[in-house]
């Protein structure tokens, strides 16, 4: 697992070592995997586990929350890049990514534990939402806007509401009702059902 590009400001001086960045993030993940809580982690403990000095960590991250945000990011995989060809296909790709993400969370005790604990740390979770989650919603809104421009989606539907209509069913199964299945084809079923509901009404003078 490679370390993500850190959000911490770069300081002048000796260039940072990607290997050291990765070792620190891996050390934090290892401690979490061994049962440490997010609240119980400390910069000192992470530095000790990584075999580096505390100052080495602070040169890279200003505080524990900044480090943990990168730890959380390291558990992520890049979302799909919309092809720009088919609005339906792009929406299916986005929801399929969410479905696979939900399955990964169910199958990974570490991922499930970390994400669950993050919810209890409001500042940290908000930073995660404003970076990782918002980037995905921005991509989704761009696809929906394109659908309105091409006439595939009604223009009188609010984009934020529309985004919730598409993602809500998948999030409900993946997060709120983890006992429900996330079968293959679910993304297509959700997209087709919502698109049918928000498609422009056929014109009265349209050829039958």
CA 111 from chain center: how many Å? 12
Name the DSSP letter for residue 9. P
CATH of domain 87-198: 1.10.357.10
Of 61, 43, 62, 63, the residue nearest 53 (C-alpha): 43
Sign of the dihedral through C-alpha 55, 57, 61, 65: negative
3-state secondary structure of 168: helix
Top CATH class of 18-74 equals: mainly alpha
The pLDDT, as a whole number, for residue 10 is 47
| Interval 69-121: pLDDT, tens | 999 888 888 888 888 889 999 999 999 999 998 888 877 778 777 877 877 88
Q: Does position 29 have pLDDT exceeding 60, yes or no?
A: yes
In tens, the pLDDT along 159-194 reads 999 999 999 999 898 877 777 889 999 999 999 999
Q: What is the pLDDT of residue 204?
A: 59
Pairs from 154-159 (Cβ < 8 Å, separation ≥ 24):
154/198, 154/199, 154/200, 157/198
Q: Is the pLDDT of residue 203 over 80?
A: no
Please give the model's pTM, rounded to 2 decimal places: 0.78
Confidence of residue 11 (pLDDT cuts 50, 70, 90): very low
Return residue ranges of the chain for CATH 1.10.357.10.
Answer: 18-74, 87-198
CA 99, CA 183: separation in Å to the nearest integer? 8
pLDDT of residue 28: 94
For all residues of the chain together, what is the average pLDDT?
87
């Amino acid at each position: 697992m490679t370390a993500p590009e850190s959000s911490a400001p770069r300081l002048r001086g000796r260039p940072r070592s990607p290997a050291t960045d990765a070792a620190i993030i891996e050390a934090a993940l290892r401690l979490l995997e061994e049962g440490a809580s997010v609240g119980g982690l400390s910069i000192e403990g992470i530095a000790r586990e990584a075999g580096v000095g505390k100052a080495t960590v602070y040169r890279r991250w200003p505080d524990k929350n900044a480090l943990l945000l990168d730890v959380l990011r390291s558990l992520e995989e890049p979302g799909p890049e919309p092809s720009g060809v088919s609005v339906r296909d792009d929406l299916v790709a986005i929801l399929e990514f969410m479905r696979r993400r939900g399955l990964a969370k169910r199958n990974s005790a570490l991922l499930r534990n970390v994400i669950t604990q993050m919810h209890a740390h409001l500042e940290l979770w908000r930073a995660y939402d404003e970076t990782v989650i918002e980037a995905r919603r921005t991509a989704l809104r761009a696809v929906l806007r394109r659908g309105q421009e091409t006439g595939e989606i009604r223009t009188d539907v609010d984009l934020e509401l529309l985004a919730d209509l598409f993602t809500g069913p998948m999030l409900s199964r993946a997060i709120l009702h983890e006992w429900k299945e996330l079968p293959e084809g679910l993304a297509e079923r959700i997209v087709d059902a919502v698109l049918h509901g928000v498609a422009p009404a056929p014109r009265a003078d349209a050829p039958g």
